[in-house]
Amino acid sequence: MAKQRSRPTRRREKRGGPGSGRRKPCAFCRDKIEFVDYKDVTTLRKFISDRGKIRSRRISGACRRHQNQIATAVKRARELALLPYVSESTGDDREARGGRRDRGDRDR
């Protein structure tokens, strides 16, 4: 029988930084909440950005099942006017984002 070679085992170095570590658990699974309620506006606001967009799973930390329920609940709450479709903006941010400006200088 052939003799086995003993190789020195290399351990991978853990690099601490952004993206390392464990994923945070889903808040609904952690609290054992079965369904996301569309009437619970304070909870739903945590999953909406300042512009009114639904945050992704990567940002919100929700599991696939609860993320689908969050999206449905936010859409229902918007339909019933419990949540806004877009945030209240002053209109000043439009120019900063490169939106359309005054068209007064256009010749027709």
Helix, strand, coil shares of the chain, percent, nearest 5, are 30, 0, 70
**Would residue 100 count as lying in a domain?**
no
Q: What is the pLDDT along the chain (108 residues), one digit of tens a residue?
A: 677 777 667 766 666 666 667 778 899 999 999 999 999 999 999 999 999 999 999 999 999 999 999 999 999 999 999 999 998 766 665 556 666 666 666 666
Contact partners, residue 75, CB within 8 Å, separation at least 6: none
Tell me whether residue 10 is in a domain. Answer: no
Please give the tally of structural domains in the chain: 1
Asked, for residue 103, whether it belongs to a domain, the answer is no
Q: Which residues span the domain enclosing 39?
A: 27-87
CATH number at residue 50: 4.10.640.10
Query: Quick check: is 67 in a domain?
Result: yes
Element spanning 44, H or E: helix 41-45
Does residue 12 form part of some domain? no
Q: Other C-beta atoms within 10 Å of 71: how many?
A: 15
b/e code 10-27 from CB counts within 10 Å (16+ = b): eeeeeeeeeeeeeeeebb
Q: Residue 15: inside a domain, yes or no?
A: no
